[in-house]
Structures are given as C-alpha cells and as structure tokens.
Amino acid sequence: MQLSGTSPSDSIRLGRSHRNLRLAGRLLAADTLAWIAGFAVAAWVRFEFSLTGPALARAIGMGVVAAAAHVAVSAVRRNLSGRHPLGSVEEMQGLANTALTTGVLLLIALVPMTSRPVPASTPLVGAAIALTVMLATRLTYRSRSDRTLRPDAGRAEPVLLFGAGSAGQGLLRAMLSDPAGQFLPVGMLDDDPQKRHLSLAGVRVLGSRSDIDTVVRRTGAKMVIFSAANADSELINEVRESTLKTGATFKILPSVRELVDHRITVSDVRDPDMADLLGRRQVIGDLRDAESQLRGRRILVTGAGGSIGSELCRQIMRADPGELMMLDRDESALHALQLSMSGRAMLDSPELILADLRDEERIRRVMAERRPDIVFHAAALKHLTLLQRHPGEAVKTNVFGTQTVLNACRDVARFVNISTDKAADPVSVLGYSKRITERLTA
C-alpha cells in the first residue's frame, strides 16, 4: 500500500531505509553477542574451564561494556575514514582495527584496578574471539547476498569463459552480480597451468583450449565467451573452431584498448568481427600532419558519402580548407554527411555535388566549373561478394569511373587515389579493379 502524499520513489527510499535499519540492528545484536561470547570464553579458558556463576556474570557484564566501547570506537572510525560496503576487505580491516582498539582500551582500564572483574588477559583474548565471530557473521551475510545476485539458473544460459585473467574476472563479476542476467558462468578455461583448478567466486577453471569439447559436454554450456585480453587472431580462431565443433555459440569480449574508458559489462560481449579473426584493426588516416598543405586550398572528395570519404571530409574540415566540395551519386549519403558535419542537412549549399562517375560529361563539367586544387578520389564499388557476381559493374565504376575522373583532373595540382589492401595481390574482382585504378593513377 502506498501512503497518501508519497511518491513511488519516496516509498522505495523509505523501504530501503527500513531494510538498512533492520540490518544495522541485527549487526549490533550479533556484535554484542560476539563480545559477550568472546569475554565469557576467554574467562572460561583463563580459569582452566572452571567458571563460577559470579565470574561468568562479571565476564558477561564486561562483554556488554566491550560491545558499547566497540560502538563508540566504530563511530569515531567512520567519522575519520568513512563507511565501507558490508563484507568488503576494507570493512574487514576496519572491523579488525576497531576490535583491537576496543581490547587495548579495556586492558588499559583494567590494569590499574586492584580488584579486576575479569583477568587482565581477557580483553585481548576476548577481542580476538569476538573479531572471529564478527568476521564470520559478515562473510556469511556477504556470501548469502552474493548468491541472491546471481542469475536464475533456470532461465539464464550456461556459458564458459575462455580466459581467467583480469578481463575474464571482470566479466565474471559482472555476470554474477546481475540477477536478471541472461548468462550464468558454469566454468572457465585458461591455458595458464598456474590457473588450473583456480576457483573464482565459486566458478572453477576446468581446463585449457584442448579441453573445450570435454568441458562443454560436461557442463552443458551453450556458449563460450572469449575473454582473454589482447589475444592474437590465431588463438581466437582456434578457440572459435573448437567451440563451433561442439555445437556451442562463440562470442568475444573486446580487447582492453576498446574497453579502456569503462568497466567491463555483460553488454560488451559481442559476435566476433573480421578484425578479430584477421588480427587487424581498422585504421583511419590522420591528416593533421598535412594541415598546412590543405589549409586554404580548394579540395574535392569523390565518394564523400562513403565510410572512407566521409571520414576524409571530417578531417579535411579541421584543416580549414578554402573550400571543401563533397561529390557522391547517393543523395541519402550526402544528406547524412552534411547532417553529421554541420548538424543540419538542407541540401541547399554548393558544397554538395550530386554526380555519377559514369557520366563523363558531368564529371568534366564539375571539374571545369569548381576548379579544385586537390582531389581525393574515394568513390568506388567495394562489396567483394556482390562484385564477384556483377564484375561488369566494378569495371564501369572502379576502372572507367576512375579514368573519367583522371581525365577531368588534368589541371589539378594533386590527385590522391584511395585504394585497398586487396589490390596488393589481387584474387577477386574488387582487388583486380582497384589494382587497375592504381596503375591508371600512376
């Protein structure tokens, strides 16, 4: 029931506050019992396991005093160093310091007394016993709390993680702290023999790359996630092939350099791309070193709406050219390019040129009218499999289209032809057509 005049967010905060108060009350009661038990056991041991009723009562009374002192010391410590998550290493360290301080203070108070309620050794021994009980209480709470955060085994997909290094451990923690998560780690794999049988948050390292088939069948895993940081493509391909042979799905965690600006999350897991499997990353040219040669010049980019052409245009604009002319046959690509560069796309400015390389007369007229100083030729048909089926189109655009542009640029001071690595040792229509454009340009 929601109270009148309270918003849902207020109700949530009120419920969280009540839960925190209940937890604090339970911890206070548990710590008090720990101190009482600690002093009672310490006194019992000191009297050689023969403790009278009055001596037990005094030990219990001192345990209550110790619990009160513990609360006071804890308050001072929190003011100085702040609070720490329950069950964390920092909280354990703070708890140990508090227990030690409490024991020492009580010892200092007992030493001058001629008639001590408990033996002088009781505060330190009792503090050690109480600390052990308090640590056990918090570890039990943390363990139960962590189990409630794990994904539902009946709903989540069982997965194996290949790579138990820092990246793999980060992904493992992310998976085990999401109750609504879609993945449940059932094991890990790693080639490092030092990590064999290592257990992380209850998930064990079950083998290496040679054990993928066995471990997948034993655990019932439906997916293997490659989480080894900065691995080479050879290892990625080998693990992928072994995984696919078992019928399981293969996913990959991006390299550390791709994740450097944020903590690893489950959403980072993705399908492998060609860059992962080939071991090469996309490289975008940086024209900052050529800014002085571009500044104030009239520059034309063909294929300006494509992936390479659009990036060229963005970098050329930072060099402050006298005029940047962007030519493409695709009006939608020109619209998207202008929108990305200026935040508006009215398509009404002379910087955009709609033209097709196959139209020789149109290209010659554009060059004559606009008179660029530098031409970056990025226009081309580039989809390999499609060009294999339609080789004539590759010839018309990549070869004849480049020849058309070259003929129209006879008075241009500088011409830059954008090619592809597939032209280095051509085995495809795309590679051969781009190789010809290189020779035509040369």
Q: Is the pLDDT of residue 286 over 60?
A: no
The torsion region of residue 35 among left (phi > 0), alpha (psi -120 to 50) and beta comes to alpha
Instruction: Indicate if 167 and 274 belong to the same structural domain.
Output: yes
pTM, entire model: 0.50
Overall average pLDDT of the 193-202 stretch: 88
Q: What is the pLDDT of residues 362-390, one digit of tens each?
A: 999 999 999 999 999 999 998 888 999 99
Q: Is the pLDDT of residue 260 over 50?
A: no
Instruction: Indicate if 266 and 358 belong to the same structural domain.
Output: no
Instruction: Indicate if 294 and 437 belong to the same structural domain.
Output: yes
Task: Look at residues 95, 125, 148 and tell me which one is the last residue of a structural domain.
Answer: 148
Task: Look at residues 107, 124, 148 and tell me which one is the last residue of a structural domain.
Answer: 148
Instruction: Indicate if 167 and 84 belong to the same structural domain.
Output: no
User: Between 115 and 153, whose confidence is greater?
Assistant: 115
Instruction: Indicate if 122 and 167 belong to the same structural domain.
Output: no
What distance in Å separates the CA atoms of residue 194 and residue 163, rounded to the nearest whole number? 13
**pLDDT band at residue 261 under the 50/70/90 scheme:** very low
Count of structural domains within the chain? 3
Q: What is the pLDDT of residue 307?
A: 86
CATH number for 205: 3.40.50.720
What distance in Å separates the CA atoms of residue 166 and residue 105, rounded to the nearest whole number? 42
Contact 172, 266 (CB under 8 A): no
Report the chain's mean pLDDT, rounded to a whole number.
86
Instruction: Indicate if 39 and 97 belong to the same structural domain.
Output: yes
**pLDDT band at residue 327 under the 50/70/90 scheme:** very high
Which helix (H) or strand (E) is 28 found in, with range?
A: helix 8-46
Is 139 a domain residue? Answer: yes
Instruction: Indicate if 262 and 347 belong to the same structural domain.
Output: no
What distance in Å separates the CA atoms of residue 294 and residue 315, rounded to the nearest whole number? 10
Instruction: Indicate if 86 and 139 belong to the same structural domain.
Output: yes
Instruction: Indicate if 183 and 85 belong to the same structural domain.
Output: no
pLDDT above 90: percentage of residues in the chain: 49
Range of the domain at 26: 8-148
Is 174 a domain residue? Answer: yes
Is 1 a domain residue? Answer: no
What distance in Å separates the CA atoms of residue 12 and residue 113, rounded to the nearest whole number? 52
Instruction: Indicate if 237 and 328 belong to the same structural domain.
Output: no
* Token digits of residue 301: 């980019």
What distance in Å separates the CA atoms of residue 285 and residue 277, rounded to the nearest whole number? 22
pLDDT above 70: percentage of residues in the chain: 90
Q: Is the pLDDT of residue 5 over 60?
A: no
Q: What is the pLDDT of residue 287?
A: 56
User: Between 155 and 62, whose confidence is greater?
Assistant: 62
Q: What is the largest CA-CA distance in the chain?
A: 114
Q: What is the pLDDT of residues 95-125, one digit of tens each?
A: 999 999 999 999 999 988 888 898 888 999 9
Contact 105, 13 (CB under 8 A): no
Closest by CA to 327, choosing from 302, 309, 349, is: 302
Task: Look at residues 148, 182, 207 and tell me which one is the last residue of a structural domain.
Answer: 148
* Token digits of residue 24: 């604090």
